[in-house]
Amino acid sequence: MKSPFPLFFPLLQKKRDCSKQAQCSKRRLIMALLAVSALAPANLYAASKAKRQPPLVAHVYPDTLALPYNRYALKPFMRPARKSVAVALSGGGANALAQIGVLKAFEEAHIPVDAIAGTSMGAIIGGLYSCGYSAAELEQLALTMPWSSILALQEDYSRSSLFVEQQRIRDRATIALRFDGLKLLLPQSLNSAQAFTRTMDMLVLHALYHPHSNFSSLPIAFRAVTTDLVSGERVTLESGSLSEAMRASSTVPILFEPIHRAEQQLVDGGLVANLPVDELAHFGADCKIAIDTHGSMYATGKELDLPWKAADQAMTILITLQYPAQRAQASLVIEPETGKHKATDFKNIPQLIAAGYVAGKQQVPTLQRLLAITSPSNSSAPQTSSVPPSSIVPSVATPPPISPILTANKKEMRNFSLATYTKRWSISPTSTELERLVGEKVASALELHALLRDLLATDYFARVSAEVHQEDRTVTVKLEALPSVTVVTVQGELADELSSAELNECFAPLMGRLYTNHQATAALEALVRRLRAKGYSLAAIEQVHVENERLTITFSSGKAAMLTISLNKGRTLLTPIQRELKLDATKPLRLRAAEESVKNLYETGVFNRVSLFAEPITQTEAIAPISSTTPNQTIHLSLEEKPASVLRLGLRYDETNNAQLLLDVRNENVGGTTNTMGGWVKAGRKGYLANMELNMPRIGATHLIFATRLFFDSYLFDYTNSDGSLAPYNIQKYGITSSFGTRLRKNGHFLTDVSYYNSQAFTDEAHRPLFSTTNNNVLTIGTHLTIDSRNNALMPTRGSYSYLTYAFTPLSLDDGLRYWQFSGTHQVNLPLGRETTLQLSAMTGVSSKALPLSEQYFLGGIGNSYSARFIGLQPHALATNNVATAGVQLSYEPSFPILFPTTLQLHYNAGRGWNAMENVRLDGALQGALQAVGASMVWKTPLGPTRFTLAKVLVNNDDNSLMLPHRDDDPVFYFSIGHDF
């Protein structure tokens, strides 16, 4: 079927096409009209705005250093742009002290140091330099520091500061082994390095500046390189305790115990990077300087005679393999000429520092050329320093907004010529000297940026800028000068500690005269050093304000906000710790109080290492908002506890007792109280002794002490008959004694004791006519005064020993036996130079007639627990109720060993005994006294002291009241090896 619309459809399509064309034309016309109407007002507005535009003004700033100025300053100030300088300080033991000389040369030549990365001894020097110690101060420290005692391998306890009972326990033992339960704990090192720890802690605590969030907040940014023994990887420390970071980087494995941080065991960074030049990349430094002081190797096997020398040799071998890659990254390598000086030799420190100074001086021209090349990589425009309050991390102040026109034409403005411009300037506050200085520089200036840089380089201004007026062709230099100072006042709790004379001396370079920003910093630091010299370790400048030529300085309180105590095992109770602290939260922290606290805690014998350091308290830790009057430092006390169970062993041999053995087992921290409980036995050919004891060195927080012990003591004495034969007799005691009293400082005590014991004296049938057999139960009450400040019990070179005792029997228990006795001993050691000591000693004892043989005074031999010293007599040759002796001993310790470290001694003794007190005559004592002389050589050996003594009696007293053996003119020889117990 056909469609009914075949003719209609083409016609309809044609009409539609015409309609579309008409609509498109209409739309184009409308759009054109709209565009004309829109453009016409815009052109008219642009033309009118161009006629009304103000004159073009560009604000120009000099290129400034982008690094923060983390030192004290009167006000924020700009520093001219320069290359940043970072220094890598190597290890090297004593040789690394030459780095101090290099830094000294840098200071004299005004070579800046912005950052330091250090390893081992380089970390120590770099860390101290970063926190405010100058090169001169470091040199003084190096020259005066007792390196031999700080780095000594033996336990660094001061015997004179130990409790009396602790002295006795340690004097008699040769070796001490510690246990965790029944597990033997072998030491990780030869020394816990407590002396080194205490020294570094106190130096950092007493530094001018303390780190805030990290070590980059110090005046010189710092990083310490260490090695993790667990993973073998490098660990770089840049936050936390600065002293701990320095110690970790310089802890030689085996010699010193590792530093524990979480799961890491940190030791000397020289194992992985002895010259850490690659660490300087983290600072973004333009100039990287390497100071290499690793020293030379030992040339022969004979030189490797000590364990620390072998360790040093191994370190040097590892170091040699690292060096090429590290040195290649440095802009300049400085290598002081230390010759064949060994890392373990701390005897030629002045020469080492001098060698570093010479090497630094030689490289100064090269450094100056390197720094003279301008580099905008570390600069921006503008940057200002900030005054760092002690509780706030210093930061660079935010610069004012820069004109968009200046930013768009920065390259053109950098070489902006002043030839066709009128130059003006304004200074606030102004002065005649500044007007003259600025006028001369502005008048001769040809280029704007050079002018601003030169003005900023004078260091007389806090801010420097310029305004360029394009229309009237003028340039106005604007300068913010440092305020004039004529009066200085100090506010805060420590203000009274500083006198007017001290203030004037510190600020003399500023008062009433033109001064620089760095002079202002030096004056403020000098003021803080005054408070450090008075012992205030946390004193810091909180605020500086200048108004009407009056400089007002506000100091912090110098107090610690809180004390935190961390224990690695958590066994020790809080009371035994707190009672040893000398820190008072209500007073400013003093260095001496910190030192005594650390010393007291360590000398309890409970802790292997005690560390004290300060860190800023954060706002989240503070109970109240932190203000300038709120203490904002936290004192951290880190305590590394020893295992409490100790086994001590002693071995000894002498000509009288032959071989002897000591076994001492005790818990030295019972229940975390620092009390000790245990027992010890000794056995030899002539006797044996057993003790079970409890000692409380302090009861709670008081200075009261308590001790009790059960004892059994049996010893065989020899009496020489007139025919030369020996008549043995045995003295035996067993019982209990309890003592209560007070401590006199650390090395003394005064006790009252009560003892109940059985005392026997007996011999065999053949010798009973000479000795009466006794068997008595005795109750005694007595008092004892002991003060022992000797540095060594056998061969003291300083200190004294005093012992007074009185005892009596208050009632008779057996056969009406009642007696009393009083005795005293005093010994004083006088140093006569570094190698010679004079010892003077005296001993006296008196008693009642009824004194039994078991309680008499015994005299003879080199001295032990059974017989008082009288060199020239055989041990316990004289037994008497009353005695008086005096002795002189001269000791000389040569600087060279005779096989072992050696002491040579000369002896003189004089004494006399009386069986009855009524026979004592002081006027005739010397006439009938026994006198003897002798000489000794004593070796310090690993098994203990070894003594060879030859002595001879000069005058033999024939007084029949003395129980003296028959003697001829033959000399007496003594030999012993090991500690006396």
Choose one of 641, 658, 685: the last residue of a domain.
641
143 and 261 housed in the same domain: yes
956 and 929 housed in the same domain: yes
545 and 617 housed in the same domain: no
pLDDT for the residue numbered 942:
87
Give the tens place of pLDDT for each residue, 14-47: 334 444 444 545 455 445 444 444 444 444 444 4
Choose one of 311, 340, 373: the last residue of a domain.
373
The CA–CA distances, whole Å, from 810 to 169, 779, 801, 881, 917 equal: 31, 7, 29, 19, 21
Neighbouring residues of 889: CB distance < 8 A, sequence distance ≥ 6: 838, 839, 841, 905, 906, 907, 908
Pairing of strands 85-89, 287-291: parallel
326 and 461 housed in the same domain: no
Residue 52 lies in a domain: no
pLDDT for the residue numbered 343:
83
Q: At what angle do helices 121-130 and 242-249 cross, to 10 degrees?
A: 160
201 and 275 housed in the same domain: yes
Residue 50's identity, in one-letter code, is A
Closest by alpha carbon to 367, among 117, 125, 82?
A: 82
Examine the residue annotation and report whether 180 is marked as an active-site residue of this protein: no
Q: Which two tokens stand for residue 325?
A: 């890659």
666 and 626 housed in the same domain: no
Distance of alpha carbon 673 from alpha carbon 789, whole angstroms: 25
Residue 870 lies in a domain: yes
Residue 774 lies in a domain: yes
394 and 334 housed in the same domain: no
Q: Which two tokens stand for residue 671?
A: 């229940």
Beta bridge partners of 886: 842, 910
Distance of CA 888 to the CA centre of its chain: 40
* Residue range of the domain that includes 511: 487-555
CATH of the domain at 203: 3.40.1090.10
DSSP 417: B
Give the tens place of pLDDT for each residue, 477-506: 999 999 999 999 999 999 999 999 999 999
307 and 365 housed in the same domain: yes
The CA–CA distances, whole Å, from 223 to 283, 517, 966 equal: 10, 27, 76
394 and 416 housed in the same domain: yes
Q: Which two tokens stand for residue 459?
A: 């260091």
609 and 697 housed in the same domain: no
Residue 6 lies in a domain: no
Distance of alpha carbon 644 from alpha carbon 607, whole angstroms: 10
Q: Which contacts of 181-187 are long-range, i.e. CB under 8 A and separated by 24 or more positions?
A: 181/645, 185/643, 187/257
Q: Say which of 84, 120, 243, 484 is annotated catalytic.
A: 120
Choose one of 641, 671, 703: the last residue of a domain.
641
Distance of alpha carbon 636 from alpha carbon 276, whole angstroms: 29
* DSSP per position, 858-881: EE-BS--SSSB-BBTB-TT-EEES
CATH of the domain at 948: 2.40.160.50
Number of domains in the chain: 5
652 and 637 housed in the same domain: no
Q: Say which of 63, 201, 268, 286 is annotated catalytic.
A: 268
Residues of the chain with pLDDT under 70: 1-55, 153-156, 295-322, 373-414, 618-630, 720-725, 765-771, 812, 815, 922-927, 955-969
477 and 495 housed in the same domain: no
Residue 441 lies in a domain: yes
Examine the residue annotation and report whether 120 is marked as an active-site residue of this protein: yes
Cα dihedral sign for 377, 379, 385, 386?
A: negative
Residue 10 lies in a domain: no
Burial class (CB in 10 A: 0-12, 13-18, 19+), 123: buried
Q: Which two tokens stand for residue 594?
A: 């910190």
Give the tens place of pLDDT for each residue, 832-852: 998 999 999 999 999 998 888
Residue 16 lies in a domain: no
The CA–CA distances, whole Å, from 808 to 643, 782, 814 equal: 41, 6, 15
Residue 23 lies in a domain: no
Residue 162 φ then ψ, to 5°: -85, 155
The CA–CA distances, whole Å, from 698 to 431, 456, 567, 580 equal: 68, 64, 21, 10
pLDDT for the residue numbered 254:
78
CATH of the domain at 624: 3.10.20.310
Residue 278 φ then ψ, to 5°: -65, -25
